[in-house]
Amino acid sequence: MLSARDLFQEILDEDESFRLFCSIAAGGEAQGGWENGRIAALVPESQRALAPRIARHGADEDKHGRIFHALLRKRGLRPVEVPPGTDYTMLLERRGIGLAHERLARRDPLTERDIITYLAHSRVTEQRASEQMALLRRHFGDHPGIGRALRMIADDEDNHLAYCHEELLRLAGAGHGRTIQRLLRECALAEIRVYRDVSLAVMDHMGRILGWSRTRASVLAAGIHLVHAYERLGGWRRMVRLEQPERRDALGGPVPGEAEPF
């Protein structure tokens, strides 16, 4: 059976598959950076204390996008257009999850409910990002070409997840607990479907680039469906639990600067 390490090693070793992987990752991070930047600019007066943390979140996402572009440049590669079926952020938006780009493009201040919606969406998606980066860090954290980049991004994702826990708990204590739990559940159930669909789309593209046999592609697709079945049966609940994080005020530091070469 092909392990996660073996699969990513194969993607890493081939220029075209690595190019697609970094392009998809950079595109998602850039979208996240823009979204957080707009939210920070539109925070309502009642939540103004959150604005610097949201801006820091966006700056981190922008930094991650630059890191993935730097990894491409290091191998003499240029980014490719992200296939529509692999656009995780936009597919979530089409399911009504999070704040729509059309809403964020306007200049009208957000409401407190909008901020709760944003944080619930981020709590769920940052859980996924933290888990994925922890897996890559475990297997490739010492890799001479990408290890440092993976460690940096993984640490940031852990900070983002801690921040979401802390802020949602604060808002729950202010009387928004039921709304938060309902939004978290809606986000989690939508996210696991989108994650399945995006995973299948990415593996389809990778399979064509790497010349996988029909049998191998079918086995990988079956594994993705198996993960989705587990998450539907109850695995999604890990995405909605709230607990005080060990890292407190995780986004309270200075906004990061330019990404260093990798």
pLDDT in tens, 64-118: 999 999 999 999 999 999 998 999 999 999 998 999 999 999 999 999 999 999 9
Average pLDDT of the chain?
94
pLDDT of residue 2: 67
Q: Is the pTM of this model over 0.85?
A: yes
User: Residue 252's pLDDT band (boundaries 50, 70, 90)?
Assistant: confident
Question: What average pLDDT does this structure show over 206-232?
Answer: 96
Task: Write down the CATH number for the domain with range 4-239.
Answer: 1.20.1260.10
Neighbours of 166 (CB within 10 A): 21
Residue 254 pLDDT greater than 70, yes or no: no
SS (H, E, C) the chain: CCCHHHHHHHHHHCHHHHHHHHHHHHHHHHHHHHHHHHHHHHCCHHHHHHHHHHHHHHHHHHHHHHHHHHHHHHCCCCCCCCCHHHCHHHHHHHCCCCCCHHHHHCCCCCCHHHHHHHHHHHHHHHHHHHHHHHHHHHHHCCCCCCHHHHHHHHHHHHHHHHHHHHHHHHHHHHHHHHHHHHHHHHHHHHHHHHHHHHHHHHHHHHHHHHCCCHHHHHHHHHHHHHHHHHHHHCHHHHHCCCCCCCCCCCCCCCCCCCCCCC
- Report the largest interatomic distance among the alpha carbons of the chain, rounded to a whole angstrom: 56
pLDDT of residue 133: 97
d(CA 202, CA 75): 21
d(CA 72, CA 212): 23
Is 51 exposed, middle or buried, given 0-12, 13-18 or 19+ CB atoms closer than 10 A? middle
Report domain extents, the chain.
Answer: 4-239
Residue 261 pLDDT greater than 80, yes or no: no
pLDDT of residue 247: 86
pLDDT of residue 207: 96
Distance, CA of 89 to chain centre: 8
The per-residue pLDDT for range 153-208, each reduced to its tens digit, is 999 999 999 999 999 999 999 999 999 999 999 999 999 999 999 999 999 999 99
Residue 253 pLDDT greater than 70, yes or no: no
pLDDT of residue 27: 95
d(CA 227, CA 164): 24
Distance, CA of 141 to chain centre: 19
Tokens describing residue 81: 């257009």
**Residue at 49: amino acid letter:** A
In the chain, % of residues over pLDDT 90? 91
Residue 1 pLDDT greater than 80, yes or no: no
End-to-end CA distance of the chain: 32
User: Residue 210's pLDDT band (boundaries 50, 70, 90)?
Assistant: very high
The per-residue pLDDT for range 2-57, each reduced to its tens digit, is 688 999 999 999 999 999 999 999 999 999 999 999 999 999 999 999 999 999 99
